[in-house]
Amino acid sequence: MRLIRIYNTLNAHFGDLKWWPADTPFEVIVGAVLVQNTSWRSVEISIRNLKERGLIDPLKIYKADKKSLADLIRPSGFNKIKSLRLKAAVAFIMTETGGVLSKFNKFSLPVLRKKLLTVHGIGPETADCILLYALNRPVFVVDNYTRRIFSRHGLISEDAGYETIQRLVHDNFPKSVKKLNQFHALLVETGKRYCGKTKKDCVNCPLLGFGGC
Ligand code: SF4
């Protein structure tokens, strides 16, 4: 119930955040790989570079020269590592679906998640972003903002693991793609605006009154 109250409070405060900002599911996947350890603003520049070369397409990235790809995504940092991760993600997509993302529908959620986690450079957070925001599967995405907000409000311990936090939400929140999409977005927005790593703005935060601050 507490999670639902948190959701309702944040939802009333921020409104529909319309995540994920992308034109296609494949663009979501590209963004999910590129956003690792960097800001969304820098990812936007890389995606724009890829779009200008017509590369937001699984087959085209699959065939792209590694160095050219790394140059285009340089703005999002760790570009050589991320170009390999992008290539690995696209190789997975091509092998499993031939580039047609809707063919992922043949897999159950647990099977697909397990498969994604075998891909080089795809950890739980990236896998769940892809599942939720690109493939419309009902999973909760856990990130540092979630961990910070939940622990500051006594819902989890500070050192709770990814799966523990995800289970808390899966067991106590509707299994709705729309709501899970919005809940993660709301927590990110709350973390960015009010609940910083070293600085909290509880007085102005919509979660003031939920205890723990
Ligand atoms: S800023 Fe304060 S009230 Fe807001 S989420 Fe963080 S701890 Fe809670």
Q: Provide the pLDDT confidence category of residue 30 given band limits of 50, 70 and 90.
A: very high
Paired strand residues for 102:
none
C-alpha dihedral, 136 to 138 to 139 to 143, nearest 10°? 60
Task: Encode pLDDT of 57-111 as tens digits.
Answer: 999 999 999 999 999 999 999 999 999 999 999 999 999 999 999 999 999 999 9
Interatomic CA distance for residues 18 and 27, integer angstroms: 15
Q: Is 195 in the pocket of ligand 1 (CB under 6 A)?
A: yes
> Pocket of ligand 1, candidates 194, 198, 199: which has the most ligand atoms within 8 Å of its Cβ, to mutate?
194
Residue 1: pLDDT band (50, 70, 90) is confident
Q: Which atom of ligand 1 is nearest to the CA of 212?
A: 7
pLDDT digits (tens, 9 = 90+) for 171-189: 999 999 999 999 999 999 9
Extents of the domains making up the chain: 2-18+140-193, 25-134
Summarised one tens digit per residue, pLDDT across range 149-171 is 999 999 999 899 999 999 999 99
124 contacts 163 by C-beta, under 8 angstroms: yes
Q: Say if residues 119 and 95 touch (Cβ distance below 8 Å).
A: no
Q: Which CATH fold would you assign to the domain 25-134?
A: Endonuclease III; domain 1 (1.10.340)
Give 10 Cα–ligand 1 centroid separation in angstroms.
11
Distance 210 CA to ligand 1 centre (A): 8
Give the mutation target among 9, 153, 186 for probing the ligand 1 site: most ligand atoms within 8 A of CB: 153
Q: Which amino acid belongs to residue 172?
A: N
Task: Report whether residue 147 contacts ligand 1, using a CB cutoff of 6 Å.
Answer: no
Shortest-distance atom of ligand 1 to CA 200: 1
Question: How many angstroms is it from 44 CA to the middle of ligand 1?
Answer: 28
> Is the minimum distance from the CB of 3 to ligand 1 under 6 angstroms?
no
